[in-house]
Amino acid sequence: MRDAIRELLKYLTNQVINYIPSYTLRYAWYRAVLGWEIGPQVTILSGVRIQMAGLRGRGRRVVIGKGSVINYGCLLYVTGGLVIGEHVSLSPGVWLITGSHDINDPEHKDIYKPIVIGSYAFLGARATVLAGVTIGEGAVVMAGAVVTHDVPPYAIVGGVPARVVGERQLRNPSYSLAHFHPLFG
């Protein structure tokens, strides 16, 4: 019975709650049912897909810092834990994947590792970040990149797998993304 309730709540999260055109109701669900910590002025647009092994993170935290934006069509695989800093911008279609499998294990066991994204980082459309990766403060992940290793602060990475291709000149960002809050997002 417990498994059925857990699966029902996961279904409701992704097929009903994530499409309600009210930030207040969605965030109340994320906080109360999923156990997420969501900072002020965060924007999580409708239609975000949330992959989770269980409810309330099974001891793994999901934290989204002040003023961060999670755009349409993102996939948040949160089983391994997810920490997003302040004023982080996730463009449409970004995938954050905290789970994998041990390909050398005869039982193909699950492996979960957290993803940490520093404040003022920017992830371009359709970028993918894999389990255990830390994206440094102010780093930029170019559109379509697949990030398999940590990204230094203020680095610009691109490609598959992502490699450093440049460096961000802005060293002390102070902008706010809080203004991005569509009425029916």
Catalytic positions: 101
Q: What is the rounded distance in angstroms from the CA atom of residue 23 to the CA atom of residue 88?
A: 18
Looking only at the bridges linking them, the beta strands covering 110-112 and 99-101 are: antiparallel
Q: What 3-state class would DSSP assign to 70?
A: strand
Backbone phi, then psi, for 136, in 5-degree steps?
-70, 165
Cβ–Cβ under 8 Å, residues 84 and 110:
no
Q: How far apart are CA 144 and CA 39, in angstroms?
A: 28
What phi and psi values does residue 41 have, to the nearest 5 degrees? 60, 25
Neighbour tally for 164: CB within 10 Å: 13
